[in-house]
Structure 1
Amino acid sequence: MKRITLLSLIAHFLLLTPVFAKKETFKYPAFTIPAELKKNANAVVRLDEAEFTVHSRKSSSLTQKMVITILNKKGEAYASIPFGYSKFETLESLKITIYNSLGLVIKKVKESEIKDYSYSSAGELIGDSRFKIYEPVQKQYPYTIEYESVSDYKGLFVYPSWKAYPGYLVGVEKSIMKVIIPSEEKLRYKCINFKDSISTTTINDQNIYQWGIDSLPALKSEAYSTGVLSQSPQIILAPLDFEMDNYPGSLESWNSLGKWSAILNQGRDQIPEEEQAHIIELTKDCQTDIEKVKILYEYMQSKTRYVGIQLGIGGWQSFPAEMVSEKGYGDCKALSNYMKSLLKVVHISSNYTLVKAGESNNLQHTDFVHSYFNHVILRVPLQKDTIWLECTSQKMPFGYLGTFTDDRDVLCVNDDGGELCHTPIYTIEQNQQIQNGTFTLLKNGDAHAEISTIFTGIQYENIETLYHRSSVDDQKKFLYEEHINLPDFTINDYHFQEDKKQIPSSVLSVTLDVRNYASQTGDRLFIPLNKINRITYIPPKLENRLTDIRYIRSTEDKDSICFILPEGYKIESLPEGKIIESDFGYYQSNAELVGNKVYYTRIFRKNKNTFNASRYEEFRSFRKELAKADKASLVLKKITKS
């Protein structure tokens, strides 16, 4: 008897579509997705099709069709796509259709079911930008959601770019893009990890560019990586000349982009006369310019707070310094401009600086002039030093940028235009965690601990949460749940203090009672020498590491712990000293018995560096060796009376 499979039944059913339904009713059946695209995937992009048309320097439009099959609950994050609109962007149409696993339409989303939000509803923000979003509620997987949209733009100098992947754990069946631009205008583009050809034709005085890719398997994120997505195919698009809200500009060079930014902010640096007099009074006894900068920075912090402002061209143009002075708030642009204006009163020049902020400082493509920026800081070049100021935080130490904007290329705006500069790189000598502790061990394995830790430079941010949590309950919650790596303990007391200098530092002191710090087996106590700063993470084994291994920053940890041994026990086993030396890092530990005390010392340092992906297994072995060394235990044996 011939075997009938589920797949053959489905295929037979689809062939009979004239009987049961119109042929076009069946679209995107999930079972046709190739198995290799579903591997490691929570969702699969069936089609990502975009057509961007430049009508003039003041007008453009984008037509999109995005079809995504959601394979499981974890893929739901890709089912909802926000569509923004504002003074400069009109969402002309939005059509959303949902299909079941066979490709049958199960829902045509009504306009009333699409939510409309102001970006300001997400936080402290003032703006006229809004977005529409649909949040599907489907209980059966897989299902497919299709978005079709048309947006019109009034002036645009950040063109929509093309990225093959929307994120991790998503396969891509087909992704294509077409750009139509008047032949008198120039389309600038940069291909990244894309080697296929770009089709170019000219029809009716319009240049048409088209490219695409298909059958991309899902990507997993990789530890210690520049980001797998940064290795995926993408094309950055940008105009040569543009116009925003009657402000013409050019992306011919970083200098020309800086000129456009400077023009946007012309005449917005006026400080009220009464405040000018106050500023002069504040700084009259300063002996150096750096003293003046510090006093005015702290004055600015005490007087203002951050509020995002995205009104009109406010996404690029700062609000006047007078408004900040009056209202006491502003966004990164307004507050940096205000600080610049304060310094101008005391004849100190500074640079309004555009930066791509975020914890990861991945290399930007500085050979291609384009607006990568999402934040503004201030650069103050003095005779003997350059001070960098983050103006949106009321608590940031003077002259410290931290992981949000350190070690990256930025665009510093000056009177002549703009120039690329690089923000500070914090060194291993600056990025220290120095921990000293005493553990008094009891016969039952419990311990009383007193630990003091100094954090400097980037590692100052390890306990940043404490600086911003005012309540004791919130601070203790952080210490219990996020900071102290012990399984069962009670905090008896804690205190911390900050030193907000240019390379900031803080000291955290805690006293603890730790239950079962040592494990008891018969007449022996097994005492872990490093339980509070232990390396445990070992990157997973991979068939094919795609990206290079990367240490973003240099850091050094130093630990010194004194264990006071309980009476009635003697040392049975004391671990030997350990040195692990590699270009991946340096590790040293040692334990020494002095009377009834064991002194344990440990150093682990790693330098900012990038290693070839081919060395991944070597790196895993290094991490394994570290984890093993950090598990070293001291063994005590009960002294028996003879």
Structure 2
Amino acid sequence: MKQITLLSLIAFFLVLTPAFAKKETFKYPAFTIPAELKKNANAVVRLDEAEFTVHSRKSSSLTQKMVITILNKKGEVYASIPFGYSKFETLESLKITIYNSLGIVIKKVKESEIKDYSYSSAGELIGDSRFKIYEPVQKQYPYTIEYESVSDYKGLFVYPSWKAYPGYLIGVEKSIMKVIIPSEEKLRYKCINFKDSISTTTINDQNIYQWGIDSLPALKSEAYSTGVLSQSPQILLAPLDFEMDNYPGSLESWNSLGKWSAVLNQGRDQIPEEEQAHILELTKDCQTDIEKVKILYEYMQSKTRYVGIQLGIGGWQSFPAEMVSEKGYGDCKALSNYMKSLLKVVHIPSNYTLVKAGESNNLQHTDFVHSYFNHVILRVPLQKDTIWLECTSQKMPFGYLGTFTDDRDVLCVNDDGGELCHTPLYTIEQNQQIQNGTFTLLENGNAHAEISTVYTGIQYENIETLYHRSSVDDQKKFLYEEHINLPDFTINDYHFQEDKKQIPSSVLSVNLDVRNYASQTGDRLFIPLNKINRITYIPPKLENRLTDIRYIRSTEDKDSICFILPEGYKIESLPEEKIIESDFGYYQSNAELVDSKVYYIRIFRKNKNTFNASRYEEFRSFRKELAKADKASLVLKKITKS
């Protein structure tokens, strides 16, 4: 007898059951997803279809259909999609339908079940941007969720671009984008990781562009990766000319985008006369411009706090300096403009600067003019130096940007327009972690430790949490749970101090009792030489590394530890000097006995760099060597009395 398969049973019921025979009741069955798209996937995009229509420079619309099959609980991250709306964007319709694994409708979501939230970020309190989102509660996998939406825009200079992958661990069955634009308007686009052609036609004085892609297997996140966007097919879209809230502009060049930003902020740099007099009094004894900038920056920090204000065109336009002076708060735009206005009082020019802040530290596509930006800082070009100011933080050291905005292309705005500049790249000599410690070992393997660590440059941020936690309990929680890499210890005392220079530094000193630091076997003690700054991570073995290997920043760690040995023991084994030299990094460690004490010295440095994906196994071998070297132990043997 022939074996009856699940597929044949489904076919049988489709023929015999009238309800199934209706085409509209049977959509997106999960069993039709090709096996190669389910490999490594928690979800699969069945269809991502978008049509963007430009009616004029002041009006456009987007019609979308997104269908996603959720394969397991981890795939739920892709089940909820936010749909934004604001003064410039209206969500005309949103329809959500859920299907079971066979493709049968099990739920048509009611409007009352869709939640409505205000967009918010750290400190943002005032805004007219909102979003709607539905959070499905399904206990049986797989299931499929279908979104159908229509949005209208009043003026737009950031067109909705296309990218094939929503993220990692999701396959893509079909993704299509169409753009319809009047013939007299120009669509600008840039293809990235997309080799197929874009079809173009003209119908009734409208240019129609269309592209798409089929059958993309899920991508897995890779250690030291350049990110999912470096692998995803994508197309950036932008107009040549645009108009937002009656402010016309052009994306012909970075200079023209800068001009538009400058016009938005014209006349918003007035400081009240009383405050002007105060500013002049504050800076009257300054001998240099840099002294004036520092005094005014710290004055601004003491007087203001960050509050996000995103009302209408305010998403791009700063609030007047006079308002910030009166209220004492503002968002990144308003605070940067206020600082710029303070400097203007003492005749120091500066540049309102648009930046893409966050982990990704470069625009990547400077050959395509587009609004990549999400933050504003201030550039102060002095005669002998250029000072960069982060104006939203009350604690940031003067002239220091940190990992949020370091080493990336930015758009500096002046009265004549804009120009691309680059924020500071902090060097390996600046990004130091220098650790000195003494471990006094006891016969039972316990130890008393006193450790002092200096952090400079980017590594200053390693203990940034301490700077912002005022209570002792919160500070200790950070040290116990996140910072000190020892298995079982008690903090007897600790203190830290900051030096808020342009290249800032801090010092953390801790006094600890460590239980079972050394392991005891018979008459021997095994003492790990490096437990407090040990390299343990080895990237996993991969069949085929897809992305290049990237070090985002250059850093150097220097450790110097003195071990005071317990009485009644002698050294049986002392590790030899270890040097690992590669373009992936440099490592050196050495242990030396001097007057019953062992001095352990360790250096590890790596330089900002990108390495070809083909060298991944070589990179893994390097990391294995590092991990092995950091496991080195000193072996003591108990002295037997004759």
Query: Given the two structures, how large is their TM-score scaled by the length of structure 1?
Result: 0.99
Contact 2:169-2:218 within 8 A present in 1 as well: yes
Q: Deviations over 1:374-407 (max 9, x none)?
A: 0000000000000000000000000000000000
Distance 2:603 2:183 in 1: 62
Contact 1:535-1:627 within 8 A present in 2 as well: yes
Distance 1:176 1:371 in 2: 23
CA shift for structure 1 position 511: 0.5
Contact 1:201-1:209 within 8 A present in 2 as well: yes
Contact 1:82-1:132 within 8 A present in 2 as well: yes
Distance 2:362 2:333 in 1: 23
CA shift for structure 1 position 606: 0.5
CA shift for structure 1 position 23: 2.2
Distance 2:464 2:39 in 1: 39
Contact 1:119-1:125 within 8 A present in 2 as well: no
Q: Deviations over 1:104-137 (max 9, x none)?
A: 0000000011111112498532111111110111
Contact 1:453-1:507 within 8 A present in 2 as well: yes
Distance 1:16 1:630 in 2: 68
Q: Deviations over 1:445-502 (max 9, x none)?
A: 0000000000000000000000011111111111001100000000000000000000
SS at match of 2:121: helix
Check 1:374–1:150 CA distance in 2 against 1; reply closer, same or farther (3 A cut): same
Q: Deviations over 1:520-554 (max 9, x none)?
A: 00000000000000000000001111111111110
Distance 2:13 2:490 in 1: 65
Contact 2:258-2:413 within 8 A present in 1 as well: yes
Contact 2:20-2:26 within 8 A present in 1 as well: no
SS at match of 1:120: coil
Q: Deviations over 1:1-47 (max 9, x none)?
A: 11101222123223345355522101000111111111111110000
Contact 1:241-1:251 within 8 A present in 2 as well: yes
Distance 1:20 1:291 in 2: 78
Distance 2:450 2:483 in 1: 15
Residue aligning to 1:208: 208
Check 1:278–1:630 CA distance in 2 against 1; reply closer, same or farther (3 A cut): same
Distance 2:505 2:345 in 1: 31
Distance 1:317 1:299 in 2: 23
Check 1:582–1:121 CA distance in 2 against 1; reply closer, same or farther (3 A cut): closer
Question: Please, what is the CA RMSD of the aligned residues?
Answer: 0.9
Contact 1:351-1:379 within 8 A present in 2 as well: yes
Contact 2:15-2:21 within 8 A present in 1 as well: no
CA shift for structure 1 position 341: 0.3
Contact 1:174-1:215 within 8 A present in 2 as well: yes
Aligned pairs for 1:27-46 within 5 A: 27-46=27-46
Distance 1:115 1:129 in 2: 14
User: Which stretch has the larger CA shift, 310-319 or 116-125?
Assistant: 116-125
Contact 1:353-1:413 within 8 A present in 2 as well: yes
Q: Deviations over 1:568-626 (max 9, x none)?
A: 00000000000000000000000000111000000000011111110000000000000
CA shift for structure 1 position 362: 4.0
Check 1:122–1:570 CA distance in 2 against 1; reply closer, same or farther (3 A cut): closer
Residue aligning to 1:243: 243
CA shift for structure 1 position 364: 1.8
Check 1:177–1:548 CA distance in 2 against 1; reply closer, same or farther (3 A cut): same
Contact 1:524-1:635 within 8 A present in 2 as well: yes
Check 1:261–1:20 CA distance in 2 against 1; reply closer, same or farther (3 A cut): closer
Distance 1:93 1:436 in 2: 63
Distance 1:189 1:307 in 2: 35
Distance 2:620 2:77 in 1: 31
Check 1:128–1:574 CA distance in 2 against 1; reply closer, same or farther (3 A cut): same
Contact 2:536-2:627 within 8 A present in 1 as well: yes
Check if 1:540 corresponds to 2:525: no
Contact 1:412-1:421 within 8 A present in 2 as well: yes
User: Which stretch has the larger CA shift, 11-20 or 162-171?
Assistant: 11-20
CA shift for structure 1 position 96: 0.2
CA shift for structure 1 position 317: 0.2
SS at match of 1:563: strand
Check if 1:329 corresponds to 2:329: yes
Contact 2:381-2:387 within 8 A present in 1 as well: yes
CA shift for structure 1 position 246: 0.1
Check 1:180–1:560 CA distance in 2 against 1; reply closer, same or farther (3 A cut): same
Contact 2:349-2:380 within 8 A present in 1 as well: yes
Residue aligning to 1:278: 278
Check 1:307–1:19 CA distance in 2 against 1; reply closer, same or farther (3 A cut): closer
SS at match of 1:538: coil
Contact 2:68-2:144 within 8 A present in 1 as well: yes
SS at match of 2:631: coil
Distance 2:555 2:363 in 1: 20
Check 1:607–1:509 CA distance in 2 against 1; reply closer, same or farther (3 A cut): same
Residue aligning to 1:219: 219
Contact 1:589-1:602 within 8 A present in 2 as well: yes
User: Which stretch has the larger CA shift, 470-479 or 122-131?
Assistant: 122-131
Check 1:18–1:428 CA distance in 2 against 1; reply closer, same or farther (3 A cut): same
Q: Which ranges in structure 2 are unaligned for 5 or more consecutive residues?
A: none
Check 1:431–1:20 CA distance in 2 against 1; reply closer, same or farther (3 A cut): closer
Check if 1:177 corresponds to 2:216: no
Contact 2:167-2:228 within 8 A present in 1 as well: no
Contact 1:262-1:413 within 8 A present in 2 as well: yes
CA shift for structure 1 position 292: 0.3
Q: Deviations over 1:239-298 (max 9, x none)?
A: 000000000000000000000000000000000111101110000000000000000000
CA shift for structure 1 position 232: 1.2
Residue aligning to 1:12: 12
Check 1:549–1:250 CA distance in 2 against 1; reply closer, same or farther (3 A cut): same
Contact 1:222-1:228 within 8 A present in 2 as well: no
Check 1:19–1:89 CA distance in 2 against 1; reply closer, same or farther (3 A cut): closer
Q: Deviations over 1:207-244 (max 9, x none)?
A: 00000001000001111111133221000000000000
Aligned pairs for 1:208-607 within 5 A: 208-607=208-607
Check 1:14–1:21 CA distance in 2 against 1; reply closer, same or farther (3 A cut): closer
Distance 2:41 2:314 in 1: 39
SS at match of 2:392: coil
Contact 2:362-2:409 within 8 A present in 1 as well: no
Contact 2:70-2:142 within 8 A present in 1 as well: yes
Check 1:17–1:280 CA distance in 2 against 1; reply closer, same or farther (3 A cut): farther
Check 1:473–1:524 CA distance in 2 against 1; reply closer, same or farther (3 A cut): same
Distance 1:512 1:228 in 2: 42
Contact 1:402-1:458 within 8 A present in 2 as well: yes
Check 1:24–1:310 CA distance in 2 against 1; reply closer, same or farther (3 A cut): same
CA shift for structure 1 position 359: 2.3
CA shift for structure 1 position 93: 0.2
Contact 1:585-1:604 within 8 A present in 2 as well: yes
Check 1:567–1:122 CA distance in 2 against 1; reply closer, same or farther (3 A cut): closer
SS at match of 1:402: coil
Identity of aligned residues (%): 97
Query: Given the two structures, how large is their TM-score scaled by the length of structure 2?
Result: 0.99
CA shift for structure 1 position 519: 0.3
After the TM superposition, list the runs of 4 or more consecutive aligned residues in structure 1 that deviate by more than 4 angstroms: 120-123
Distance 1:471 1:201 in 2: 65
- For this pair of structures, how many residues does the alignment match? 642
SS at match of 1:279: helix
Contact 2:408-2:422 within 8 A present in 1 as well: yes
Contact 1:340-1:352 within 8 A present in 2 as well: yes
Distance 1:169 1:57 in 2: 38
Contact 1:228-1:546 within 8 A present in 2 as well: no
